[in-house]
Amino acid sequence: MAKQIQSIRGMHDILPDESGQWFWLESRARLILERYGYREIRTPIVEKTELFKRSIGEVTDIVEKEMYTFEDRNGDSLSLRPEGTASCVRAGIQHGLFHNQQQRLWYQGPMFRHERPQKGRYRQFQQIGVETFGFAGPEIEAELIALSKRLWDELGIDDVTLELNTLGTPESRRAYREVLVAFYEANRDQLDEDSLRRLDGNPLRILDSKNPQMQALNEGAPSLHDHLDDESKAHFEMLCRLLDDIGIDYRLNLRLVRGLDYYSHTVFEWTTTSLGAQGTVCAGGRYDGLVTQLGGRPTPAAGFAMGVERLLELIRVRQGEQGAYRPDAYLLLAGEAAQQAGFALAERLRGDLPALKLQVNIGGGSFKAQMKRADKSGADVALIVGDDELAAGHVTVKPLRDRDAAQQTVPYDSVRAILEARGETRDD
Ligand code: HAM
């Protein structure tokens, strides 16, 4: 036998048993986004490498070590997108979506990062992301947080915590950066290799080092909150008030700085302890400077992205098989004449009952074998047509899940009413 080819490490197939859950989550998210007035944008999966270098930042884990970068046939450096914000901003500038306008956008799709795979951390993973442009006040951050909370409620997720911080205006962040660099310079002998490298490019990232020795040093580091200017404080306080007004709890986490460079003012993460080490299911914040950084006119912006695999894992942990696909009905064809006519009959049913999910038995088999398949399909009812039923224009409707309900043999025209009464022709 020829050698089998496996999928790439950290990149997974979504098999039919799981894809129903994906669809279920995606459709709920889309519905909520539409309720808040967000419109979908779709951008290419491959972009110029420079886009990510200039937006996410040169001294970040993503750009330094995690991008799938390659030269195309013209010698241009391209990368698989590691996230969606940069592409959204690029597209908005390119197509004139920002100037004197407000935009509420969302997207979904695969992102690629060459990280060390583990549970909840993959090299290809799916994000649903939301980006807003043209809103300077903290109401938009409150809306983003409210919208994500509504989605958790809808999905039945209640074991997530909102962690919140502010990085302040670029000016106050710059002033803080100087104080912080001076602090680390004074303690240079205690810095690990990663921190020494970050000291020049991205000293704030030293603050969320996972190294216990660095964590001890960080305890004594100056706090950004002591260096916030009035504008930064007012913005953050207003956001906290808006969240209080709608009863959303949050935990102030002064160490939260995020792994991408483009943030200013608010940053937030929804985290859970139910998933082990990879507990952040959704993260984002404000990034007012990014549009100008990428060549556009000054445009306030804020957004977030959620990791779909992590959310699905969380739902599985809590709820089992929510959203799994199953047909409404399975059509059994017993007898030679019925088998011949069955294919056309199934098409007629689909034409007459557009909301019905119907699987037809193909490939014959004894009545018992067909019943077994019907049961395995997960369908709620079996529709049985034998030669006698065919001759009389009848169909037998046999409930499969509730054993007490009786089966009925009825004229074809009555099948619709029976299925509708059973709720089999829902439109979801
Ligand atoms: P991020 O924190 O890099 O932010 O990713 C957002 C979410 O994507 C994470 O909280 C996590 O749930 C999921 N995620 C990230 N990496 C992986 C991975 N390797 N495997 C599985 N899931 C993962 C961003 O990407 C920003 N673009 C968010 C944003 C939008 N900020 C403003 N607008």
Task: Please report the pLDDT score of residue 115 as a whole number.
Answer: 96
Q: What global pTM score does this model have? A: 0.88
Task: Please report the pLDDT score of residue 317 as a whole number.
Answer: 66
The pair of structure tokens assigned to 248 is 């959303």
Task: Please report the pLDDT score of residue 261 as a whole number.
Answer: 85
For the chain, percent of residues with pLDDT exceeding 70: 97
CA of 215 to the centre of ligand 1 (A): 23
* CB 285 within 8 Å of CB 265: yes
CA of 241 to the centre of ligand 1 (A): 26
Higher pLDDT, 38 or 202: 38
| Residue 283 near ligand 1, beta carbon < 6 Å | yes
Nearest-CA residue for ligand 1 atom 31 is: 284
Domains within the chain, CATH numbers bracketed: 16-169+229-319 (3.30.930.10), 329-425 (3.40.50.800)
Q: How sure is the predictor about 260, in pLDDT bands with cuts at 50, 70 and 90?
A: confident
Nearest-CA residue for ligand 1 atom 18 is: 121
Q: Does the pLDDT at position 84 exceed 70?
A: yes
| Residue 57 near ligand 1, beta carbon < 6 Å | no
Fill in the DSSP letter of residue 226.
Answer: G
Mean pLDDT of the chain, nearest integer: 93
Nearest-CA residue for ligand 1 atom 16 is: 121
Q: Does the pLDDT at position 398 exceed 90?
A: yes
CA of 222 to the centre of ligand 1 (A): 28
| Residue 129 near ligand 1, beta carbon < 6 Å | yes
Nearest-CA residue for ligand 1 atom 11 is: 307
- The atom of ligand 1 lying closest to the CA of 84 is 27
By the 10 Å C-beta count (0-12 exposed, 13-18 middle, 19+ buried), 232 is classed as buried
Over residues 325-360, the pLDDT tens digits come to 789 999 999 999 999 998 899 999 999 999 899 999
| Residue 261 near ligand 1, beta carbon < 6 Å | no
Task: Please report the pLDDT score of residue 276 as a whole number.
Answer: 87
Task: Please report the pLDDT score of residue 302 as a whole number.
Answer: 98
| Residue 309 near ligand 1, beta carbon < 6 Å | yes
Residues 6 or more apart in contact with residue 108 via CB below 8 angstroms: 26, 29, 40, 126, 127, 128, 129, 308
Angle of helix 193-201 versus helix 170-186 axis, rounded to 10 = 140
| Residue 307 near ligand 1, beta carbon < 6 Å | yes
Rounded Cα distance between 287 and 292, Å, is: 10
| Residue 85 near ligand 1, beta carbon < 6 Å | yes
Task: Please report the pLDDT score of residue 323 as a whole number.
Answer: 60
Which amino acid is present at 159? D
CA of 303 to the centre of ligand 1 (A): 11
The pair of structure tokens assigned to 369 is 């074998």
